[in-house]
A and B are shown apart, each in its own frame.
Chain A
Amino acid sequence: EADIYQTPRYLVIGTGKKITLECSQTMGHDKMYWYQQDPGMELHLIHYSYGVNSTEKGDLSSESTVSRIRTEHFPLTLESARPSHTSQYLCASGETPDRGALTNEKLFFGSGTQLSVL
């Protein structure tokens, strides 16, 4: 059972609002990720972190920002939400199960936040 939590599950807000999507994991994983997923589409990596005070942008350009002040917490912030930000946002943390195989990483996903911007 994965111990990674996202809040809120659903969020409907108006254009221009500032929002923060929360993600927390209790597994002590250093690696954490944010993916954006539109219906019927693949997951797009928007941010990732390999540890405290380490954050990088992913493959898909995003107007969101992230922070990693604590290992367990990886919040994503939109300063001014727009309808184009409407999507599902999935947070994940990564575990390397095989000591000798650093490229094998098992991802644990949260249940996601479905964001709708009106």
Chain B
Amino acid sequence: GEDVEQSLFLSVREGDSSVINCTYTDSSSTYLYWYKQEPGAGLQLLTYIFSNMDMKQDQRLTVLLNKKDKHLSLRIADTQTGDSAIYFCAVRGYTGRRALTFGSGTRLQVQP
């Protein structure tokens, strides 16, 4: 089955850029997602990228995909205290019948 791995914790200063990394194992993954979970809340979709793309930018968010290395990253520019949350990487395989496979989440702490 699919394995998705993320580092557990990242701490940055307000105004800096944050880069959250994710690796996955299934080379047939079609869509890759980033979800954000704030304390006491469910997950919220931030952005996604299709596997034939290398990069996708959406305002302060930039997603980079290295399909050869099976590496996905999320860059948050000008990180704000409101960005403090847990960020989950999730991937979907080609068959699409099953639900997403999630990583364990990276806790982003933004210091003022």
Residues of A within 8 A of B (CB): 2, 4, 6, 33, 35, 40-43, 45, 48, 58-59, 90, 92, 94, 101-112
Contact = CB atoms under 8 A, between A and B. Distances in A.
A94 B12 CA distance: 33
A106 B105 CA distance: 18
Interface stretch (B42-50, B57-65, B76-84): B42-50
A105 B96 CA distance: 9
Interface of B: 1, 4, 8, 30-31, 35, 40-45, 48, 50, 88, 92-96, 98-100, 102-105, 107
A43 B101 CA distance: 8
B104 A104 contact: no
Contact of B48 (A33, A42, A45, A104): A104
A107 B45 contact: yes
19 contacts: A2-B42, A4-B42, A40-B104, A40-B107, A42-B104, A43-B102, A90-B42, A90-B43, A101-B31, A102-B96, A103-B94, A103-B96, A105-B31, A107-B45, A109-B35, A109-B42, A109-B43, A109-B44, A111-B40
B92 A40 contact: no
B99 A45 contact: yes
B50 A101 contact: yes
